[in-house]
Each structure stands twice: as structure tokens, then as C-alpha cells.
Structure 1
């Protein structure tokens, strides 16, 4: 009995302490915060995130409480932005204030303590690595020069689809292989020996680096950090990642040159590592973090977008017919179409934009407010975590008619691009931290998609109908299909 009473006293003491700390933190906040749902002691609004993907749940909250909403997730104060107006103010008007990132256990472990480009803080290191990336890899000239790589890998993918004619094929798997090969050859001069294992690690890491671990939301709790089992899983994954990347970099050091006969991006990073005048020294972990960036942002986003585009076209057969008709008319007689050729495909561009509207590669864009400021009249405290709900903005009826319907034709009436100028459609972000590889990524979506539509007709396996298609998403930082896309390709006969 004495033991039971002791435990009750301890539990009451701990809960009382946590409630008092919660009230003390709340007293330090400014009075003009964005609207907020009723919260519970200690956990705040954490219970509201149950029962769905974060972007879906957060959309429901902002629909009820306003496009700018304040949430207390454990100890962490967050603000959700779910309108084009609030996002434009944060990412354009106040861009330097919102250009930072917040840490998560997943990004710290898998992206080398954020010594990379995607998850790096807004500092000299980020500016330096981004400048190298854009000038040496992602310039428009380089994107065009990678055309022969896209042609090689598309030819391989077409052969795979041809060999499966009349039989079901895992299109998701084959498209991911193609995307990995294009990115590896463009960035590193050759296909990585363990690129399949690396691609699997990317998918696992993206699914676990969302920042919604309990240890992420109670950063002061050493106990939750100790009991975070996903942390130990991530550390084992990091060990596998180190083995792959260390082996690749050792091979790279003894290799004379890549496919282009000169320096590739890794050579450039090694050369600059020796420059003693660099503002932020480039470390070996920084190089490995950059490689993992290229894989996670370069391969996963392009492959995911192609898969979603095909899924939506399969689910909407009349749109598929229209897209194939345009591609087969405009590309007729062109054996190796590339970026310049697909510029003529107006409806294909609309298909890709509509796919990115409904299925942005990163549904939630994380930012960190560097200093106290105002957004749409509300006070945002310094160090507040910001979640831009790109998925919700793309489905907002205030900007889009029939927002949940896949309708590429809407872009005949609405002129909006995806490169960060129109805040109703920002699948690649906007402002200083807009995705530097968006032109490279779009080329790696539009050219393969055009060729897949040109060469093949498709049907679903067995007795499945378009209405039966599962369009569920996987939880995590990115938004790929929950289940692979299985299709039956048939070689298109132009004379039939």
C-alpha cells in the first residue's frame, strides 16, 4: 500500500510540475497569436494530430480556425500557414525572417547533423553549398546538356515496358530506377553500385524525418529522447548509409573522370574542401549530406510526380486520351525527344502542374521564424516552427474550382506556374529556399512522362476499374503513393 501511495504522489508531483511549466511558457507568449483550438495541459494540441496524415489533419484545423493557426505540439509552438496570402507574406515579404529550418531527430541523424543543403540552417554553409550546386549542376545549360542521359535511361525503361507487354508491371519500381539513374549519372558521372539500397534508405528516411516524433516535440525531455526507438532505428540506417557513401567516395577518388570527361559535382566539392578561404569549411560529412540531398530531393520527387501523373490519368481515362493524342501528334517522327521538344506540349504541362497541385512532392514545407514578426496581422514569436501546408493551399476552393478534381484543363483559364511566383501553387517552395533543382526536376518528369504516353497504352490489372484505384499517400516528409502503381502496358501501334 505504501508503495502505491508513493507512486501516486510521484505522478501527481510530476503532472503538477508539467502543468505549471506549461502555464509559465504560455505567460511568456505575446497576446496577439493566431487563432488556436482548445488545448490540453502538457500535450497542448498533440491529440489533434491523431487519425490521419499531418497535412490532412492540419487542413481541417485551419478550415475551422483560420488560414493562419497557432498550435502547441508538446513543448513546441508551431504556426500553420494554409493560404496563399499568408505564405506570400512569409516567403516573399519577410523571406529572410522565415528562411531558417528547425531541427528534427530524423534530419540530424540521416542528413549528417544538418550539414547538407536541404535541412541546413540559413547560414554561410547553406549559401555556399547552394551556390556550388546551382552553378555546377543545376544551371539551365547543364539541364539541357543532360539530355543524352535522359534519352539513354528512357530507352532502357521503354525496353522494360516492352518486355512486359500484356503483363502487369510495377511501374513505380521501374520509374524510380530510371529517376535514380538519371540523377546519379548527371551528378556523379556514373550509376552508383548500391543505388537501389540508397534509394530504399531515402524512402525510409523521408518517412521518418517529419519532425513529429515525441522527442522532437519535447526537446527538453532527456527521457523521451532516450526512449525514442525510432532514433535507434535511424542510427542503424545511418550506419548502412555511411557504408554505401564511404565506399562510393573511395571509388570516386581513384576514378579519373566521369561521363563528361571532366569534373563532376563531387570533384568540385573535394577541390573546394581544400580552399582555406572558404567562409564555411566543407566537411566529409557535408559531402555525404549533399549526396543524400541529391538522392532524396532529386530522385524521389521526380519519380513520385511521374507515378502520380500516370495514376491520375489512369483514373481519368478521358484525360489520358487527350494527353496521348497531343504527345503522339507533336512528337511524331522524333526519335529522341528532350526538353526543347516537350516545350510544345501545352496539355502535358497542364497535366504536370495539376499533378503537382494535388500531389506536391513535399506536402508540408518546414521553416523557422528567426525573430518576432507579424503575418496577416498576427504576431509570430521568435523560434516558432512554421509549417506551410502546400497540400492544403493546392486544394483550397478560394483559389481552385472543384479543387479535389483532377482537371488539367483548368490551366487554360488560370495562368499559374510552379516555380515560386504564384503562391496558390508552390510545390517547390518559394523565396530564398525555393528548390534549386526545380528545372532539372521538371525536365526529368516531363520528358519521361511524354515518352511513356507516346509509346504505350495502359490498362489496370485483372478486373480493377478506375474507381477501384487506391490513391492513398504515404506518411512522412514526401508524399508518394502508399501502394505501388501496377499497370499493364501495350505497345501503341500508330496504324491501328
Structure 2
């Protein structure tokens, strides 16, 4: 936590206020009816224990203190959930009571004061916006309608890789998959590759910069309103303001360009949203601020998370050549005699789906997701006060030996002949969350990941440069909005001679 280290001295002086915060903590639910809690420091509580990779730090603490653990970020009570059984209580039994999301000043700055489906508080406005996203933008029919976009962009990716093979050059798969995800989302959202324009690059660079700034859960100013000045001193607020101003210039231009069009296209998300804004669907409405908020959600939740899981899938396949061979045999058997893959072909590839589920289990792109208690709740005999933040560690739940045999092992076979899926009904596998706040883009994301991975494995054989082995791959995690690998995946591709 850069902010914490930067302000160590003033925080030490503020420790004199410890007694006051102890009383505040008791008032917030820290008494005898509270869950187990690790020791904390005066004033800052457990903030210092988050670390660069919070999912790992929280996992280490929960293995010592239990699957339901109470921390304090300054005076704010924070529940940490690390088992499927407790997650089910939060996301199903008491789903309504925990239906809000925590939103900081920085998130409000980025997401139009929280006027987006990810951050809006639960209520009528959120339900209406959520229904638009689910029923008009990302329903199963709409996801299928983007099949041609997935096919065209994946075909372009294959050609880029072929060019590298003809030059006997290694492939930076990380860079290529980032570009692919940006182009997929850009075409689905805007109807064209806006990423190829100068304005589009500014927009995407701004999203990437904002993601890095939001890598930490909270700053000191979020935990202590009277320390909000630290965000100004650290430069975070100014940096975010600069990013938002540049982004809004681009997004406002896109909106105006679509509005000026006589026939707004209904083949992309922006066109559909603006059609709703103009009253083309009776009984459904949306303002321009929310149009921009939804578009921002699509990019934020779509690009980085899709890229992240694609890279993790290919990384694990490189590390496990037996799994790679088994997947190649399945896909090439289905495609025997065919050159071009159709999405219907994926229905005949159960091992492909198992590989992707296993990658999501081990490497959920958003390893920790958050809720906020809206009401007073008695949870497992503990009294939880309104306003308590809840952090659900999907990464730790996916590695819990109570649910998974050899949980640290990449073993796709565990999902063969299994009804476990990614839709949040099985609380021991929740990479997209669950309940009312489950990610609405699950169908779009999984369709893209399945199709891209199937083509990569079908059309190429893969190796590491200079004869390196899979176990030599650096799988150090990179902090960020979505937790990916810190080192680019550099590989050598050879064209499958049967294609």
C-alpha cells in the first residue's frame, strides 16, 4: 500500500487517537458478538496486512483465523469470507441484505458518480439498469449475434501469429491477447475498432491507467475522511481527474457521433443504449450519464478480465503439456477435415470447457469481490452492522481442500462429467460472483474465451523459446484490477500441418 508507507510518520503520531477508535470499533460491531479477528495496529487497524496481492494476504490470515474473519480498515469493519459455505450465506441466504457494493470517492470519480450497473446501490434505479443490461445488451441471443465479431477478430489473431511463424520469431501472446480483447469489446460496444483511432487509444490508455490506480482496495482517505487530503498530496486525485477528463472527451464524441447518425445501429451496445435513450423501447428509459456508465462497465469488466483469463489458460497449458496434448487431440478430432471453426463445434469439446473452468478456479481474474451490509444481519451467530464491508475471496474458495482434491494442481479432469459451472450456483466456484450482483457479462466472456483458446490450440503447436520447459515459466502475479501474470507470455508457435 503505497499511501500507507508514504505516510508512516504522520500515522504514528495519530496513534494517540487509538482510544477513540477503539470505542468507534466497538460501536461498529467489534464486541463479543463479532467474528474472530487478527491483532490490529492502533488507528489503522489491519490496513497494513493487505499487501500488494490482497487475495494472498487475506488467504494467509483466514487460514489462521477462520473462514469468516473480521478486520478493520481504520474504523471501518470488514468481513472476510473464505469458504463456500459462508459465501452461500452472504450471496444467497442473505443476498438482499448484502446487495450493495462499496464505492469510494475514486470510484465515484471514474464511474460517473456511481451511475453504472456495477456501482449503483441496490434499488429501483439499479434494477432498471440491470434489466437493460441483461435483457437488451447481454442476453443469450445478443451474445450469439456477436459470433461473427469473435470469428473475424480471432481469424485476424491467427494471421498475426502465422506471420511470426514465417519469420521464425517468438510470439508475445500477452500483447496479442490484449489487442484482441480490446478489439472484441470495441466492436461489440461501438460497432468498430475504435481502439485503432487516436481517440480510442487515449480512451483505452486511460482505462489501463485508472486500473493501476485502483489496484488497492482503499486509500487512507477512503478509510479516514479526515485524511482525504492525503489523496491530494499523493497525486492520486489529480491523476484520476486528468484521466477522467481525457476519457470523457472521447466518450462524449462517440455518443454524439452515434446520436448524429440518422439510423443508429442496433448491432452494437452503444446503438442499443442510445435507442433506449431516444425512447425506441416502450417502458424502458436511460439517461446519457448512465449510457456512458454502462459503456465504461463493459470496457472495464470486459477487456482486462478477458485478457487475464486467456493468458492464464495458455500459461497453464504451457506448464502442463499433457493437458495441452489432450486438448489438442479433442479439438483436432472434432475439426478433422474442417478448416474454419464454428461456435457450434465448441459444444463437442467437453475437455475445452473443463480446461477453462479449471483456469477460472485457480486464477479468477477478480480474486476478491466486495459487498456492503445494507441491514443488520445475524450471520452464524455474529451480529453484523449495516455498512460493514464484506470481502469474498474467490481465489481462496477455489483452492479450499474441503471442496477440491489436490487444490493447487491444474487438473481439468475434475470437471469432466461434473455439473459444476461458472454461473454462481456452485459457491465453491464463483469467478463471476453470484446472486443479484453476479457479473452480467459472463456469457459474453466465456463465449470469447472458449472460441479463442480452441483456435489457438487447433491451429498451432506451442513451445517455449530456447527449449525452456513449462516449469520454467514465471507465474508471478501482477497487482491490478484483474490479477494477471507479471511477465509477458513469450512463446514459439508452429502451424499445425493438418490445418
Give yes or no for TM over 0.5. Answer: yes
Q: Which residue in the other structure is 2:5 paired with?
A: none
Question: Where in structure 2 are the equivalents of 1:88-103 lying within 5 Å?
Answer: 88-103=88-103
Residues 175 and 223 of structure 1: CA distance in aligned 2, closer, same or farther (over 3 Å): closer
3-state secondary structure, aligned to 1:69: strand
1:248 has 2:254 as partner: yes
2: CA distance, partners of 1:12 / 1:57: 23
SS of the residue corresponding to residue 374 of structure 1 reads strand
Mapping of 1:272-311 within 5 angstroms? 272-273=276-277, 282-311=286-315
Corresponding residue for 2:320?
316
C-alpha contact (below 8 Å) 2:25/2:77 kept by paired residues: no
Q: Deviations over 1:308-355 (max 9, x none)?
A: 100000011111111111111112234432332101101000000000
- The alpha-carbon distance between structure 1 residues 195 and 372, as it changes in their structure 2 partners (threshold 3 A), is same
2:47 is aligned to: 46
Equivalent pair of 2:462/2:491 in contact (CA under 8 Å)? yes
Distance 2:323 2:269 in 1: 40
Corresponding residue for 1:5?
none
Is the CA contact (8 Å cut-off) linking 1:207 and 1:478 kept in structure 2?
no
The reply on whether 1:219 has 2:220 as its aligned counterpart is no
Deviates more, 1:179-188 or 1:133-142: 179-188
Which residues in structure 2 correspond to 1:183-198 (within 5 Å)? 183-192=185-194, 193=197, 194-198=199-203
Kept in 2, the 8 Å contact 1:302–1:445? The answer is yes
5 Å matches for 1:322-361? 322-361=326-365
What TM-score, normalized by structure 2, do the two folds share? 0.91
Question: Does 2:431 align with 1:420?
Answer: no
Give SS of 2:424's match.
coil
Seen in structure 2, the aligned counterparts of structure 1 residues 371 and 279 have a Cα distance that, compared at 3 Å, is: farther
Give distance in 2, aligned partners of 1:211 and 1:280: 34
How far did residue 143 of structure 1 move? 1.3
Distance of 1:177 and 1:373 partners within structure 2: 45
1:257 deviates by 4.6
Pairwise CA distance, 1:278: 10
Check 1:481–1:309 CA distance in 2 against 1; reply closer, same or farther (3 A cut): same
Distance in 1 of aligned mates of 2:14 and 2:326: 64
1:256 Cα deviation (Å)?
4.2
Change (3 A) 1:14 1:405: closer
**2:111 equivalent in structure 1:** 111
SS in 1 for 2:407: coil
Distance 1:491 1:125, change over 3 A: same
Q: Contact 2:312–2:363 at 8 Å: present in 1 too?
A: yes
Distance in 2, matches of 1:262 and 1:36, equals 52
The 1:47/1:114 distance shift into structure 2, 3 A limit, reads: same
Q: Which residue of 1 aligns with 2:26?
A: 27
Could you list the runs of 5+ residues in structure 2 that have no partner in the other structure?
A: 1-9
Give yes or no for contact 1:180–1:195 (8 Å, CA) kept in 2. no
Q: What is the rounded CA distance, in whole Å, between the counterparts of 1:444 and 1:196 in structure 2? A: 22
Deviation of 1:280 after TM superposition, in Å, equals 10
**2:235 aligned with 1:229:** yes
Kept in 2: contact 1:459–1:488 (CA 8 A) = yes
* Greater CA drift, 54-63 or 230-239: 230-239
Aligned counterparts of 2:277 and 2:454: Cα–Cα separation in 1: 40
For residues 11-70 of structure 1, give each alpha carbon's deviation from its aligned partner in whole angstroms, at most 9, with x where no partner exists.
999543x223212202313531110011121111122223x4100000001000000000
Instruction: Give the Cα separation in 2 of the matches to 1:319 and 1:66.
Output: 34
Distance 1:222 1:198 in 2: 27
**CA distance 1:196–1:177, shift in 2 (3 Å):** farther
8 Å Cα contact 2:47/2:74 also seen in 1? yes
In 1, distance between residues paired with 2:428 and 2:480? Answer: 22
**Equivalent residue of 1:343, what SS?**
helix
**Distance in 2 between residues matched to 1:350 and 1:232, nearest whole Å:** 45
User: What's the counterpart of residue 62 of structure 1?
Assistant: 62
What are the ranges of 5 or more consecutive residues in structure 1 without an aligned counterpart? Answer: 1-9
Q: Is the 8 A contact 1:98 1:367 kept in 2?
A: yes
Matched position secondary structure for 2:71? strand
Cα distance in 2 between the residues matched to 1:12 and 1:489: 54
Measured in 1, the distance between the counterparts of 2:244 and 2:102 equals 20
Aligned residues: 482
Taking the aligned partners of 1:196 and 1:311, their CA distance within structure 2 comes to 27
- How far did residue 445 of structure 1 move? 0.4
Rounded to whole Å, the distance in 1 between the matches of 2:228 and 2:442 is: 39
How big is the shift at 1:424?
0.3
Measured in 1, the distance between the counterparts of 2:275 and 2:44 equals 49
Equivalent residue number for residue 3 of structure 1: none
Does the CA contact (< 8 Å) of 1:125 and 1:279 recur in 2?
no
CA RMSD of aligned residues (A): 2.4
Residues 147-156 or 103-112, more deviating: 103-112
Provide closer, same or farther for how the CA distance between residues 395 and 494 of structure 1 changes in structure 2, counting only shifts above 3 A: same
Q: Which residue of 1 aligns with 2:205?
A: 200
**Measured at CA, do residues 333 and 251 of structure 1 come closer, stay the same or move farther in structure 2, by a change above 3 Å?**
farther
Q: Is the 8 A contact 1:342 1:446 kept in 2?
A: yes
Secondary structure, aligned partner of 2:477: coil
Give the structure 2 partner of residue 173 of structure 1: 175
CA separation of 1:466/1:273 partners in 2, compared to 1, >3 Å: closer, same or farther?
same
